[in-house]
């Protein structure tokens, strides 16, 4: 393992603090990024127990219109292309509040969600989404297969990065997948993550950061074969990988996969240069943002933030931004409002607070949904409010 970047010790990014516990200390853990010379996998060094991270979770996907629309478009495409109907089964690992599976249900396709966060699974069930509160892996996949629940399509969106036992997870996908089924996974893309200085997506839930090179080797080693790949703009740059059983899979065209694997080799996926350049840009970014914010404060400006997301916690804590600079964080999620950000202890308020208080600037922590947030906060902007988009480098809009 070769060190890439250290963000020091930080609290868990989604461990929002109740106001009555504001004076109590928080647990912190090392947040250090390393890369493997052999397989190219980039990962953090500390594995926090999943029961600690995911049994009660603060992120509800349906609060993002972008995520719901993104899921609907994919489901509509798969239902049509694979002619899915009442005799099929669609499954999602880490299905959250049913933001994706609800579209299969509307199309008449039976669904099963696997969601370990009990509070979120309960919300999904209220929507009629059949959901089990379990951690997915090889053992649970065998239970599903024994029950005869092998899926014709399995989604795993933004969950593979959370998995400590990658071999067991991928093996489980193969067990839970019907013989002619399709696995569809989405992960933030390593090349975009490094090239765009997206260091704030480093937090303890994200154990791994994937190149296609690492994914292709992982799936091949455990009986699945990558059959198609697509690059996506969502979350600052992601890839969507389609995989099927290695045995019995008809001939497929790996043109896109081979092209992206070649591009990664030319970029230097297994050489030190991209990682060293990334670390240098992160150091320069911290200086640039803190100087900008402090200069704005010196001029008498009030500054808020928008987006109580995990990436926001990483950004605030790494940059050392607290209540001396930022007054509050606005967020659309009613599950987060009234609580405090981990580490910085900034209060979380509804989006209406931006208009009520009308600070001169708002630091956009949820920059990956910039278009959506800027449209929603048109009134704040019309009154003269400006957003600071921090990644890849600070800029005011």
Spell out the residues 6+ positions from residue 33 whose beta carbon is closer than 8 angstroms to its own.
3, 4, 5, 6, 7, 42, 43, 44, 202, 209
Region 190-207 average pLDDT:
96
pLDDT for 57 = 63
CATH number, span 2-36+273-396: 3.40.50.720
Q: Which tens digit of pLDDT belongs to each residue from 100-116?
A: 999 999 999 999 999 99
Identify which of 224, 146, 142 has the alpha carbon closest to the alpha carbon of residue 185: 224
E-strand spans in 94-173? 111-114, 131-132, 151-157
pLDDT for 247 = 75
* Topology classification of domain 42-267: Rossmann fold (3.40.50)
Q: Which of 27-41, 58-72, 180-194, 303-317 has the lowest mean pLDDT?
A: 58-72
Answer whether 2-36+273-396 and 42-267 agree in fold.
Answer: yes
Residue 307: how many other CB atoms lie within 10 Å: 26
Q: Which tens digit of pLDDT belongs to each residue from 20-68?
A: 999 899 999 999 999 999 889 999 999 988 777 766 666 677 777 888 8
Q: For the chain, give every domain's residue range.
A: 2-36+273-396, 42-267
pLDDT for 250 = 66
Task: Give the rounded distance of the alpha carbon of 310 from its chain centre.
Answer: 9
Q: Has residue 274 got a pLDDT over 90?
A: yes
Spell out the residues 6+ positions from residue 43 whose beta carbon is closer than 8 angstroms to its own.
33, 34, 35, 36, 207, 208, 209
How does residue 268 score in pLDDT terms, banded at 50, 70 and 90? very high
- Cα distances (angstroms) measured from residue 23 to each of 11, 14, 299, 318, 320: 15, 18, 31, 21, 18
Q: Has residue 156 got a pLDDT over 90?
A: yes
pLDDT for 56 = 67
Q: What percent of the chain has pLDDT over 90?
A: 85
Q: Which residues pair with 188 in a beta bridge?
A: 238
* Mean pLDDT over the full length of the chain: 94
pLDDT for 249 = 67
- What are φ and ψ of residue 151, in 5° steps? -95, 150
**Token pair recorded at residue 163:** 């998995």
Identify which of 187, 275, 201 has the alpha carbon closest to the alpha carbon of residue 31: 201
Q: Is the dihedral of CA 122, 127, 130, 136 positive or negative?
A: negative
Q: Which residues pair with 308 in a beta bridge?
A: none
**Token pair recorded at residue 140:** 């649970």
Region 152-180 average pLDDT:
95
Q: Which tens digit of pLDDT belongs to each residue from 223-233?
A: 999 999 999 98
């Amino acid at each position: 393992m070769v060190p890439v970047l250290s963000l020091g010790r930080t609290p868990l990014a989604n461990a929002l603090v109740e106001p009555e516990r504001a004076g109590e200390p928080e647990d912190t853990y090392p947040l250090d990024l390393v890369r493997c010379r052999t397989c190219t996998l980039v990962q953090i060094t500390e594995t926090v127990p999943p029961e600690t991270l995911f049994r009660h979770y603060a992120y509800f996907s349906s609060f993002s219109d972008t995520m719901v629309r993104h899921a609907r478009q994919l489901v509509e495409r798969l239902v049509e292309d694979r002619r899915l109907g009442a005799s099929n089964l669609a499954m999602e690992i880490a299905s959250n509040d049913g933001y994706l599976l609800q579209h299969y249900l509307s199309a008449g396709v039976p669904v099963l969600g696997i969601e370990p966060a009990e509070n979120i699974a309960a919300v999904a069930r209220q929507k009629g989404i059949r959901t089990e509160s379990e951690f997915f892996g090889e053992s649970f996949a065998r239970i599903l297969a024994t029950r005869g629940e092998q899926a014709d399509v399995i989604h795993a969106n933004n969950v593979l990065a959370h998995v400590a036992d990658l071999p067991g997870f991928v093996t489980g996908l193969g067990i839970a997948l019907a013989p002619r089924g399709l696995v569809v996974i989405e992960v933030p893309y390593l090349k975009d993550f490094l090239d765009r200085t997206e260091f704030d997506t480093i937090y303890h839930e994200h154990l791994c950061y994937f190149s296609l090179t690492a994914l292709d080797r992982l799936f091949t080693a455990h009986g699945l074969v990558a059959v198609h790949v697509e690059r996506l703009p969502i979350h600052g740059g992601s890839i969507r990988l389609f995989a099927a059983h290695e045995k019995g899979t008809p001939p497929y065209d790996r043109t896109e996969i081979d092209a992206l694997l070649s591009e990664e080799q030319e970029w230097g996926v297994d050489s030190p240069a991209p990682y060293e350049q990334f670390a240098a840009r992160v150091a320069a970014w911290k200086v640039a943002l803190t100087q900008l914010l402090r200069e704005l404060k010196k001029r008498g400006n009030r500054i808020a933030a928008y987006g109580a997301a995990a990436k926001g916690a990483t950004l605030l804590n790494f940059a050392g931004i607290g209540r001396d600079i930022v007054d509050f964080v606005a967020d659309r999620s009613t599950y987060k409002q009234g609580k405090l950000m981990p580490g910085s202890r900034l209060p979380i308020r509804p989006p209406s607070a931006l208009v009520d208080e009308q600070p001169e600037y708002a630091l956009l922590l949820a920059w990956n949904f910039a278009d959506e947030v800027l449209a929603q906060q048109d009134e704040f902007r019309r009154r003269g409010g400006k957003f600071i988009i921090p990644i890849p480098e600070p800029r005011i809009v």
